[in-house]
């Protein structure tokens, strides 16, 4: 435990924004997880820089939380400080040349809807993916043979030491459901993407196809994190799990969705431990049957 982060700090206004013991479950699409030792939702780049400097100088563990759509947070919660990049850091601007600048807290769905209304193409096939621009950058969100990095021009981030860095797409390694930002401990601040003008009918057609393809997932009403596992090369995680006869399997208060085998749903007041155990069981059984290791797409935060 540590004292109030800004008890002797420089900003009384930001100090008032720190909350002790705040439950994190409501900030995840799974609705699972314990509390943050300290929680803060910054509203500007300068506040993010202040918070980062604070954690560095005081040796406070720092966790960045975005839209919470692909994370499993421990029942014990998270030590140190959780910095939640939310709607408070979610400005975006469409520029005349088809480029879009969007802060990390912008909801991906919001950006897609605005782009469609302006007859700009490039991200409409990502419709239905939950989460924020920051998460889309970190995980290289994708669907329907489209990835977020297909349209990325540059990314602005903060290094752990507080240095602001702008990188072009060709300077950023990325692949299926990952980018450098998943591993380099940098805080994504902003993405600049480039979209292309297109006929409204063509954009709507691609949007409708993506929406129809993801309809079985949209129809899952219980809280979930989306796809739990990455698809292995040449196959589908959902098919391998369904092959086990595991659709509908229950572990505590979590269940393999009867509608989509790569979704695990919260049946109500589920524990992270139950979800973790079910994930491990499925991995073990798929390996035993097929010698294929299913890698979680979900990110585990805290102790398990």
Q: Which residues are catalytic?
A: 177, 227, 297
* CA–CA distance, 296 with 291 (Å, rounded to integer): 16
The answer to whether the beta carbons of residues 159 and 186 sit under 8 Å apart is: yes
171: DSSP letter = G
Paired with 191 in beta bridges are 102, 155
* CA–CA distance, 287 with 283 (Å, rounded to integer): 6
Distances (CA, A) of 132 to 33, 80, 106, 135, 276: 19, 23, 5, 5, 24
* CA–CA distance, 275 with 191 (Å, rounded to integer): 32
Helices assigned H by DSSP within the chain = 12-15, 45-58, 108-117, 133-139, 200-213, 215-218, 237-243, 272-290
What is the total residue count of the chain?
Answer: 304
132: DSSP letter = B
In the chain, the N- to C-terminal Cα span, in Å, equals 20
Spatial neighbors of 13 by CB under 8 A, at least 6 apart, are none
Distances (CA, A) of 54 to 36, 39, 82, 160: 17, 13, 13, 11
DSSP assignment of 219-262: T--S-B-S-SBPPPTTS-HHHHHHHTT-TT-EETTEEE-SS-TT
- DSSP SS3 for 61: coil
- DSSP SS3 for 84: strand
């Amino acid at each position: 435990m540590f004292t109030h982060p800004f008890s002797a700090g420089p900003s009384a206004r930001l100090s008032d924004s720190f909350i002790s013991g705040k439950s994190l479950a409501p900030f995840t699409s799974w609705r699972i997880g314990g509390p943050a030792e300290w929680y803060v939702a910054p509203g500007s780049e300068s506040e993010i820089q202040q918070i980062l400097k604070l954690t560095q100088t005081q040796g406070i563990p720092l966790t960045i939380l975005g839209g919470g759509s692909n994370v499993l947070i421990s029942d014990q919660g998270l030590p140190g400080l959780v910095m939640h990049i939310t709607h408070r850091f979610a400005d975006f601007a469409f520029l005349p040349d088809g480029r879009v600048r969007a802060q990390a807290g912008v909801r991906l769905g919001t950006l897609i809807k605005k782009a469609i209304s302006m007859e700009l193409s490039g991200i409409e096939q990502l419709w239905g993916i939950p989460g924020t621009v920051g998460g889309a950058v970190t995980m290289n969100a994708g669907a329907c043979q489209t990835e977020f990095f297909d349209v990325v021009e540059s990314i602005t981030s903060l290094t752990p030491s507080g240095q602001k860095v702008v990188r072009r797409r060709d300077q950023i390694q990325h692949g299926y459901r990952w980018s450098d930002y998943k591993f380099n401990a940098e805080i994504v601040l902003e993405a600049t993407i480039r979209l292309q003008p297109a006929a409204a009918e063509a954009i709507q057609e691609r949007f409708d196809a993506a929406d129809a393809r993801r309809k079985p997932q949209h129809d899952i009403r219980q809280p979930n994190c989306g796809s739990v596992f990455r698809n292995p090369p040449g196959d589908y995680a959902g098919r391998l799990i369904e092959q086990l006869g595991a659709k509908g399997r229950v572990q505590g208060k979590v269940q393999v969705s009867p509608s989509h085998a790569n979704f695990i749903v919260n049946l109500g007041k589920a524990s992270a431990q139950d979800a973790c155990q079910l994930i491990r069981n499925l991995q073990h059984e798929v390996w035993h049957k097929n010698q294929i290791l299913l890698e979680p797409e979900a990110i585990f935060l805290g102790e398990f």
